[in-house]
Structures are given as structure tokens and as C-alpha cells.
Homo-oligomer: A and B are copies of this chain.
């Protein structure tokens, strides 16, 4: 039903190649012809078929962005930043949500593969080897994970976790819990490693609870367990869990930060709205989004896909930068000095 280039050609009495050029290289066609073609196109409601165009140019001017959970407020700023950056470069962003499911994730990469010029894999739950494999089908930039040989942009949650633990140590806490993130999360592993080291270094005992769903519900579900464990402070995988935990504790009658201190990660907008305001590790999400887009676009301007074998040096895409972005501890109201012992805890 929709008009094709052929219809326009027929209507305006020129060859299809002229119509094509009218749209993709207007300076090559006579102004008179051009207006005539444009008029006919307008008339027929013609729009170049981007799939067909992509087939031959190897360029869709779209990029895919795959996230673990679009409902997590952590992602929107990243998405927005990526979109903004992409728009500057005349690209569009298609977002897809995996529901924290590694299988859906792989599925989506394949679904997007030929509809986009590259994919941003944000907080992937797939295995590294799978990521490597799909990256042979479509250019990939990985966010929030380190994969050898692939371009990555990471946030230094290790340093963030360390800062958080040190903050808690300074407040006198010696029994600390870590609310682990979801299975398959690189961030979760990094946090665990760093937090464990920092706690040991400070003579504290760190209990790891998890893996868990990195959601509010996931956090509140742990309240009981946290309470029983007798810790006086908690570092949560992310703000959502921290907030959930605080509510859960509240429901159990434990007050934050009076009875137990809680630190989150991400610094989502919401963390400034809750009572108490959340102490958290701020991650540079917007910068990550921008950087990732730049790296992706750089990547496939180096290696034009589908183009008829340019002789030049393709294949050596070992220029794979790996960028580590800094994090920062933001102290607000959900952390405080360790409570005097013996009052309530199951310990002592």
C-alpha cells in the first residue's frame, strides 16, 4: 500500500535512481527535477523504506540500548543522556527491557541486530562468553561490566563500595551486611569484592545476603533477615533495595539511622525524597550514557558494515577502549553512629 520509489519515479517521469538521489544526494539533481520529484513524493506520501536502504548502505542510523529493568529509576537518566548524544549525531535510540532475564537479553540483541548499527548492553546479565559471541553479530558497547576485548564503560562501584564501608567504619560500625545484587551482575561482584576487602581491612565483619532481585521488594523482603543478623549497618546493591529495606525495617519497628544505618548505590532522584534521605554512592549515569554512545559511533565509523569491501584496515578493532568512571559517596540522613550496644539487637 505505501508508495515506493518506483511509484514516485513513474509519477514524475524520471528514473528511480533520480528519485533516490533527490533524497540522499539532492545536490546531484537538477533543482527543477528535484521540486517535481518532491512534489510527487509528497503527493503519494512517499517515504524511503529504511530497511531497504539499510540493507544496501549497512547503516540504519539507529542504535539499540538494552537495559535490565526499565522500571528501575537508575536507567532513565542514562537512557536520556544516550538519546541526547545520539540525536546530536543524527541517530535514534531504541530501548529494550530484559526484565533481568539473560535469555530475553540474548533474544533482544538478535532482534535488534540488523535494525540498528550497534547495541549498548547496559548492565547485562548474560555471561561474558555470550556477550562476546553476540558481539560478532553486531557492534556492542558494554556498560557496567568488563569484558575483555570489547569496549566497556564502567562505573567504579568498587571504589564506591569501599568509600561506603569506610564511612560506616568511621561511624563505629563493625557488623555490616551487604545486600547482594542479582545473579550475573558484574557490579554486584565488584561491590562484593571491594566491600569484603574494605571491611576486613577495617576489622569489621561483613555478612553477604543474596543474590537478590535489585528492587524495592527485593530490599523489603530482606528486612527480617537483616534484623536477625544483628548487623548495625547495611550496604545495599542499589538505592531501590535500600529504600525497600528501610521500609521493611520500619514495619518491623527498627528505625533508620537510629537502630541501623543504610547506604544505597546509584543516587537516583528518589533517594532525595525519602525520609530519611538516603546516604548513597552516586554513579555518573548520564556520563556513562554519553560515553557509550560516542564509543559505539566511533566503533562503527571505523568498521563500516555491509559496505562493499573497502580495502582498508578493517578487522583491527582492538582499539577497544575501556573507560572507568568515578563514583562519589553522598552522605545524607540514612547513616549515623553505631547504636549503643545491648539495647535491642539479637547480639550480646
Chain A positions near chain B (C-beta within 8 angstroms): 1-2, 45, 47, 49-52, 54-55, 60-62, 64, 70-71, 73, 76-77, 79-80, 83, 87, 92-97, 99, 104, 107-108, 110-115, 133, 136-137, 216, 243, 247, 269-270, 273-275, 303, 305, 314-315
A77-B45 Cα distance, complex, nearest whole Å:
35
Q: A94: which B residues are within 8 A, CB to CB?
A: 64, 94-96, 112, 115
A196-B305 Cα distance, complex, nearest whole Å:
57
Beta-carbon nearest neighbor of A84 in chain B? B99
Q: Contact: A45 with B99, CB < 8 Å? A: no
Given contacts A96-B95, A274-B273, contact A51 B137 (CB under 8 A): no
Given contacts A92-B107, A136-B45, A270-B270, contact A71 B62 (CB under 8 A): no
A80-B71 Cα distance, complex, nearest whole Å:
8
Q: List the 6 closest pairs (A to B, CB-CB), nearest first.
A: A71-B76, A94-B94, A51-B114, A115-B115, A95-B95, A92-B111
Q: A273: which B residues are within 8 A, CB to CB?
A: 243, 247, 274
Q: Contact: A70 with B70, CB < 8 Å? A: yes
Q: A1: which B residues are within 8 A, CB to CB?
A: 303, 305, 314-315
A71-B285 Cα distance, complex, nearest whole Å:
13
Beta-carbon nearest neighbor of A46 in chain B? B137
Given contacts A94-B112, A115-B62, contact A99 B70 (CB under 8 A): no
Q: Contact: B115 with A60, CB < 8 Å? A: yes
Q: A108: which B residues are within 8 A, CB to CB?
A: 92
What are 8 A-B pairs at a CB distance below 8 A?
Answer: A2-B136, A2-B137, A50-B114, A51-B54, A51-B115, A64-B94, A71-B76, A95-B95
Q: How far is the CB of A91 from chain B (nearest CB, A)?
A: 9
**A113 CB contact (under 8 Å) in B50, B80, B305:** B50
A64-B62 Cα distance, complex, nearest whole Å:
13
